[in-house]
Amino acid sequence: MSTGHRRKTLVRLLVNGEEHTLAVPVQRTLLEALRYELGLTGSKQGCDKGDCGACTVLARPRDGSGRGEPILSCITLAQDAQELALTTIEGLAGPQGLDPVQRAFADCGALQCGFCQPGMMLSARALLDQCPRPTLPQIQEALSGNLCRCTGYTKIYEAVEVAAGLREPASRPPVSSERAAASDQVAHVPKEIAP
Amino acid sequence: MTHPVHRPGHVGARFPKVDGAGKADGSGVYADDIRLPRMLHAKILRSPHANARIRGIDVTLAASYPGVVATLVGAEMPAKYGVIPWTHDEQALATDHARFVGDEVACVAAVDERTADEALRLIRVDYEPMPALLTVEDALAHPEIKVNERAKVGNVTKHVELEFGPVDDAVARAAAVCHQVYEYAGSTHAPIEPHCAVARVDGDGNLTVWSSTQIPHYVQRELSRVLGLPQSKVRVIQPLLGGAFGGKSDPFSLEFCVAKLAMKTGRPVKILFTREEVFYAHRGRHPMRMDVKVALDGDGRISAVDNKIHIDGGAYASFGLVTAYYAGQLLTGPYRFGTYRFDSTRVYTNKPPCGPKRGHGSVQPRFAFEVALDEAAEQLGIDPIEVRRRNFIGENVETVNGQRITSNGFLKCLELVEEASRWTERHGKLGPGRGLGVAGSMYISGTAYPVYPNEMPQSGVLLKLDRSGRVTVYSGASDIGQGVNTLLCQICAEEMGCDPRDVTVVAADTDLTPVDLGAYSSRVTFMVGLAAREACEKLADKLRAAVAAKLGCAPADVRLELGTAAGPQGTMSFAEACQLAEAAEGATLASTGGYRTKKLGGDYRGGTIGASPAYSFTAHVAEVEVDEETGIWTVRKLWAAHDCGKALNPTLVEGQIEGSVYMGAAEAQMEEMIYDRSGLLFGPSLLDYRIPTSLDTPEIDARIVESDDPNGPYGAKEAGEGPLHPAIPAIANAIHDACGIRIRQLPFYPQRILQLLRERDARRAGSERVA
């Protein structure tokens, strides 16, 4: 039986601009280190095997060169992330407050349960850093590694376009049907539903 | 057409979700984000057999494994439970019978998750494997093998047969009859958040369970029963919930296990399901086989509908008693049926239990019916939209099975999708491989009666006003992402004129909040909305009276709006109004509101199931493209118009429509729970099961129709489940328009399409030879 989780190793992680030195089991994933060791619970565990994208964080070289690329923290070992400068959802907001992506997701109703959103927003931020005025197919491609089960993605695309300054949030008014007259309130004795 | 201009944040406004910031910056707390001092982690051992007698369980080795703190077997909490009081047929851990691959058998709590996982492998279970019954046919053919001992007859969970009018006579006299068999595949909810529960017991023996549940009240009841604790000592709290769709509306084994282990060890305990375990917890869409007749008279009016339904239930009942009824009871709108009969049988099988997935019980028959209706109309040469319009049941009417319909905006829904899709100029004219299809549907806004019979309100709201001007709403309702907490803030703003951002919602905590039965059957907006409005109106009256006394005017002349209280001569802030009212009251300003059960439903056994205080209506048009060489098809666009009565927040309503359409299209496209011959679920992962990515999801155009229901809060009805239904039959009907084939089995895999295309070509060749 494996006892790998009892052997610990020292890892240095640079997360949201802060340096951390942690003693973690050698099998510790980056997601576990973020959530359990650093209390950065904004990164979510949806599948723990790289399928859903809820654990997405942004990574770039420690020297600050290059752009943040989305990586899956649940299938990255903590010890393999030591050369990276990491951004989690907790680090996305800047001194001016929420990132435009975060604000647009809230304004457009792009978040429902919110569980996929940290990863989704980080993927969206990576896209906009690389391509400030993306087309719809580019947005769809960039977010295709982040599963959302609530929204049908429609308002997520809208939010990315709003964050990019390409459009305003949706505002189509509802359409009226004819007003119903007062109901006739057919009354019955309530019955138990026992078979 | 004019639309009222809404003030920011009030009812009808596109107001951002009040929990949006916490979700956007990662600070929101979901169940798995909870860590308590000295917390243990537990894991559950699951059966590798689909049907096996358990002769013994030996946990000795596991108990002595370093790091293990406690073990747990079913004999320590053998009481049976279930969400429906009439069908208690589950145990948190099986004592003597494992009923599917993945059924829970034993549990270990340890210092960390991996240690608990390792210790599971040291548990010795003595199984006596028995033949597994994996299909409805097998389960009915072998009554001598019991999947679940609760079944009184063979393996039948529930059988319902109801007839309204002389169906056979109407079929015999019909101008056109479509009689076909339809098969709907099982699918699962796949919320992105796996189930998670944390339990803690305090020094006085009070148990607290944080759980990713959409039914805190029922979980509290069942925990109390199974653990033998008074309900008053059980507190259930629902933290932020990462998606549910009906998949978290049963009590689950993990809630009982963490609670019992916390009681045994005196330490907090957490269980987080792996993604694989979420697939075994399931409670997803029931596979159904439907033998359907739809009969039209010479005018194209629906004279008879007859449906014989077999439902594959899996190993436990869950909501299955209701499923057997819903499969028939919810089909009787938006069209008038001359006569109607359904014969519905839910059967136990040795597979993960099915339950309520978004559109519980009625998505499958809706697919069958809407496709059969198209086919029958085609025989008479009637346009698919025209046949639906001609059969519209109307408003303020009773359905053939005795359900009361109040508002009904279906015609407007139909008109919107007809126009938006340019139906008239394009249906039947898009050329080979492209087509349009239409479908409609109806769904409940909550069930008229609570799951356990009682005279108490189904939803309660407690409201408190602070002299700072802060409003606190205590609501038992579960915000599962649909946004009920936001609606509560908007209702406070609407009624009392406060800033919706000055409202705190304390929700879904059985110690702190009034009872709400849970987020299921699309009941929340309707019922908690009415309860909240009632509570708000009481406090608004007190505010107006106090302000009127101060300003020397009549209470009716006081306007509460935009954070102020204004009379004809003078204005004050909302906080000042609160202070005046608190002084006048001489006590804390508080009020309550409730949703009380209305007496509704057909006057026959089962007539109350499917009875709802209001029904929503939906119409979809789908446009598809089919590659006739490969059978690969795509939805180019789905137009969905939904009558939600009144959109309390159009952004949230659109989100519900879009999410529903996506989930329905996914069931048509790709989703299926597939088992091998031993009952093993094939590929219990998101990658193998496959849910649509952004690249697989069709373009969705969501339209809101408002019919202003006389009984709903501000006219509102449901929006979260109804809009799923028509997506599947609209796609099937569009595939027919594109290439002349009728697909009657889900999912619409390309190989099935290809097979039907070959059969079509063979038929055409045959008829040419005959000619």
ipTM: 0.96
Q: State the smallest CA–CA distance between residue B364 and chain A in angstroms.
A: 20
Residues B603-606: contacts with CB under 8 Å, at least 24 apart:
B603/A188, B603/B402, B604/B162, B604/B402, B605/A191, B606/A193, B606/B160, B606/B162, B606/B325, B606/B329
Find residue B176's DSSP bridge partners. B296
**Whether B33 contacts chain A with CB within 8 A:** yes
* Per-residue model confidence (pLDDT) at position A64: 81
Option in B606, B685, B702 nearest A49 (CB): B685
Q: State the smallest CA–CA distance between residue B89 and chain A in angstroms.
A: 15
Mean pLDDT of the residues in chain B: 96
Alpha-carbon gap, residue B516 to B507, rounded angstroms: 10
Residues of chain B under the 50 pLDDT cut: 1-6
Q: Residue-wise over B573-592: b if at least 16 C-beta within 10 A, else e?
A: ebbbbbbbbbebeeeebbbe
**Best to test chain B binding among A103, A135, A139, A153 (most B CBs inside 10 Å):** A153
Q: Residue-wise over B410-433: b if at least 16 C-beta within 10 A, else e?
A: bbbbbbbbbeebebeeebeebeee
Judged by CB atoms closer than 8 Å, whether chains meet at B655 and A88 is answered as: no
Option in A47, A114, A181 nearest B685 (CB): A47
Task: Give contacts of B 391-410 with A, CB under 8 A.
Answer: 395-396, 398, 402, 404, 406-409
Q: Distance between terminal CA atoms of chain B?
A: 56
Task: Quickly list H helices, B511-591.
Answer: 524-551, 574-585
**Whether B28 contacts chain A with CB within 8 A:** yes
Using the predicted structure, report yes or no on whether residue A176 has a pLDDT greater than 50: yes
As given in the structure block, the two tokens for residue B557 are 């002349």
pLDDT tens digits, residue range A112-150? 999 999 999 999 999 999 999 999 999 999 999 999 999
Q: Is the dihedral of CA A160, A163, A166, A167 positive or negative?
A: positive
* Per-residue model confidence (pLDDT) at position B771: 63
With CA atoms as reference, the chain A residue closest to B705 would be A175
**Whether B610 contacts chain A with CB within 8 A:** no
Residue B712: CB atoms within 10 A of its CB come to 27
* Per-residue model confidence (pLDDT) at position B8: 64
Which residues, at least 6 apart from B60, have a Cβ–Cβ distance to it below 8 Å? none
Option in B114, B661, B708 nearest A180 (CB): B708
Q: Which of B683, B676, B698 is nearest to B620 (CA)?
A: B698
Judged by CB atoms closer than 8 Å, whether chains meet at B704 and A174 is answered as: yes
Q: Which of B370, B309, B372 is nearest to B342 (CA)?
A: B309
Is there a contact between B551 and B558 (Cβ–Cβ < 8 Å)? yes
Q: State the smallest CA–CA distance between residue A76 and chain B in angstroms.
A: 18
Percent of chain B with pLDDT over 90: 96
Q: If you count them, how many residues does chain A have?
A: 195
- Gyration radius from chain B CA atoms: 27
Q: Which of B302, B332, B308 is nearest to B171 (CA)?
A: B302
Q: Which of B194, B666, B210 is nearest to A74 (CA)?
A: B194
Q: Counting one residue from A and one from B, how many pairs have CB atoms under 8 Å apart?
A: 283
Judged by CB atoms closer than 8 Å, whether chains meet at A113 and B600 is answered as: no
**Whether B89 contacts chain A with CB within 8 A:** no
Q: Which of A8, A60, A55 is nearest to A30 (CA)?
A: A55
Query: 3-state class of A176 per DSSP?
Result: strand
Unique residue bearing structure tokens 């600070």: B27
What is the pLDDT averaged over residues A22-39? Answer: 96
Which residues, at least 6 apart from B641, have a Cβ–Cβ distance to it below 8 Å? A175, B412, B413, B414, B416, B417, B420, B618, B619, B620, B702, B703, B704, B705
* Per-residue model confidence (pLDDT) at position B366: 98
Task: Provide the CA B301 distance to its chain's centre, in angstroms.
Answer: 31
Q: Is the dihedral of CA B736, B739, B744, B747 positive or negative?
A: negative
CA of B428: how far to CAs of B128, B152, B252, B425, in Å? 59, 51, 49, 9
Whole-model pTM: value is: 0.96
Option in B453, B599, B710 nearest A182 (CB): B710
Q: How confident is the model at residue A3 (pLDDT cuts 50, 70, 90)?
A: low
Please list every residue in chain B whose beta carbon sits closer than 8 Å to the beta carbon of residue A41: 26, 29-30, 32-33
Backbone angles phi, psi at B284, to 5 degrees: -85, -165
Q: State the smallest CA–CA distance between residue A148 and chain B in angstroms.
A: 7
Alpha-carbon gap, residue B342 to B292, rounded angstroms: 9
With CA atoms as reference, the chain A residue closest to B449 would be A190
Is there a contact between B485 and B491 (Cβ–Cβ < 8 Å)? no
Judged by CB atoms closer than 8 Å, whether chains meet at B655 and A109 is answered as: yes
As given in the structure block, the two tokens for residue B114 are 């991996």
Please list every residue in chain A whose beta carbon sits closer than 8 Å to the beta carbon of residue B24: 98, 102-103, 105-106, 111, 114, 117, 121
Alpha-carbon gap, residue B67 to B114, rounded angstroms: 10
* Per-residue model confidence (pLDDT) at position A51: 97
pLDDT tens digits, residue range A73-98? 999 999 999 999 999 999 999 888 99
Is there a contact between B555 and B544 (Cβ–Cβ < 8 Å)? yes
Judged by CB atoms closer than 8 Å, whether chains meet at B686 and A43 is answered as: no
Which residues, at least 6 apart from B258, have a Cβ–Cβ distance to it below 8 Å? B42, B197, B198, B199, B209, B269, B270, B271
Q: Which of B542, B551, B533, B540 is nearest to B582 (CA)?
A: B542
Please list every residue in chain A whose beta carbon sits closer than 8 Å to the beta carbon of residue B416: 175
